[in-house]
């Protein structure tokens, strides 16, 4: 695996990313480092890690909607990338507002098939998050974040599940899609 080095983000990108991360921590205070990584991985890579085939994605969504549990108040659309390209569509408010699961599935699969991020951008976002932690804006130790990132880097930046703590507190249920595909919802 090639070594990837982080680049300094433009100030406007830093400000938008800071707002996203601080808002996520405020909304989900039980967030752990792996949840932060999952958020940033999705912000950079979209849903590419989640699709093996359409039928599996359809079954997964159908099962998740059947077993949807109560969760926190959350927006239907949650922008997770600083440029606004990638969003989480939270299933509870999406379904409550009459959203069409088939259209959501199409947008999710299309995102997985067409959107590609870079590990360089992931590292840049992570480095910025480490700086926020060091400045006290995120509730993590920079050394712990660096150790976690080293592990996922050695494993080629795999997708991870939410932490047990996060799962138990929030019962996350969403799909990651490219914002441009919201018009089909």
Q: What is the pLDDT of residues 43-85, one digit of tens each?
A: 999 987 667 688 989 999 999 999 999 999 999 999 999 999 9
How is residue 67 written in tokens?
Answer: 């077993």
pTM of the model: 0.93
Residue found by looking up tokens 């699969």 in the block: 109
**What would the pLDDT profile of 137-146 be if each residue is shown by its tens digit?**
999 999 999 9
Strand arrangement of the beta sheet that strand 174-178 belongs to = 77-79, 86-90, 174-178
Closest CA to 32 of 120, 163, 176: 163
Q: Give the whole-angstrom CA distance, residue 130 versus residue 138.
A: 8
Q: Give the whole-angstrom CA distance, residue 22 versus residue 15.
A: 10
Q: Give the whole-angstrom CA distance, residue 74 versus residue 96.
A: 12
pLDDT of residue 166: 99
How is residue 127 written in tokens?
Answer: 């480095």
Q: Would you list the domain boundaries of the chain?
A: 11-184
Mean pLDDT of the chain: 94
DSSP conformation class of 141: -
Instruction: For residue 42, list its beta bridge partners.
Output: none
The helix/strand/coil state of 12 is helix
Give the mean model confidence (pLDDT) for residues 15-25. 98
């Amino acid at each position: 695996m090639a070594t990837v080095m982080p680049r300094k983000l433009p100030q406007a990108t830093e400000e938008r990313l800071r707002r996203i991360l601080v808002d996520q921590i405020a909304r989900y205070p039980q967030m752990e480092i792996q949840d932060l990584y999952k958020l940033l991985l999705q912000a950079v890579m979209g849903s590419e890690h989640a699709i093996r085939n359409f039928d599996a994605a359809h079954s997964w969504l159908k099962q998740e909607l059947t077993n949807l549990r109560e969760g926190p108040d959350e927006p239907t659309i949650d922008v997770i990338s600083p440029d606004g390209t990638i969003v989480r569509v939270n299933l509870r408010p999406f379904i409550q507002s009459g959203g069409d699961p088939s259209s959501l599935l199409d947008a999710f699969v299309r995102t997985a098939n067409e959107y590609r991020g870079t590990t360089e951008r992931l590292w840049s976002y992570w480095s910025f998050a480490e700086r926020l932690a060091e400045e006290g804006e995120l509730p993590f130790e920079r050394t712990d974040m660096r150790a976690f990132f080293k592990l996922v880097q050695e494993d080629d930046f795999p997708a991870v599940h939410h932490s047990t703590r996060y799962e138990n507190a929030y019962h996350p249920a969403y799909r990651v899609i490219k914002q441009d595909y919201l018009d089909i919802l």
